[in-house]
Amino acid sequence: MTQLEQQLEIELRHILDSGVNYMRILELCERFSGVSKWIPVEESLPEIDERVLGFYKLGEFESIDIFYIDSITLMGGGRKSVDWHNHDHYDPGITHWHPLPKNPGNN
């Protein structure tokens, strides 16, 4: 990960932790990534080690955070076991993901 990507991740994490409206974050991501919808994990997965926003729901609690896939293991019957990680190395059961905005130099 480049220094610029690390800085972007730190800034996004600060925004997420500050309780800012998630819809505003998504608007910015859509504007800069060119992707306008959440992608279900059953439909597609990001590349291994690619930082993305991950959506998850624990009971009534819904949240997003920055995640990456550490590994994908093929299971019996064609199923996949996906090992998601965030800053806490925690996988709450990601259901959808969204690309992060591109670096400012890539626009």
Which sequence spans correspond to the domains of the chain?
3-106
pLDDT for 35:
58
Instruction: Place 47 in a pLDDT band, splitting at 50, 70 and 90.
Output: very high
pLDDT, tens digit (0-9, with 9 covering 90-100), for 51-105: 998 988 888 888 888 899 988 888 888 788 888 988 776 777 899 998 887 776 6
The token pair that represents 63 in the structure block: 């949240």
Which amino acid type is present at position 47?
E
Give the long-range contacts of residues 25-31, CB within 8 A, separation 24 or more. Answer: 25/53, 25/64, 26/53, 26/98, 28/101, 29/53, 29/98, 29/99, 29/100, 29/101, 30/98, 31/101
Q: How does 78-96 read in b/e, with b if 16+ C-beta sit within 10 Å?
A: eeeeeebbbeeeebbebeb
Over residues 43-56, mean pLDDT: 91
Residue of higher predicted confidence among 40 and 20: 40
Rounded to the nearest 10°, the torsion over CA 104, 14, 29, 7 is: 20
Residue 16 has pLDDT above 90, yes or no: no
Q: Which pLDDT score is estimated for 97? A: 92
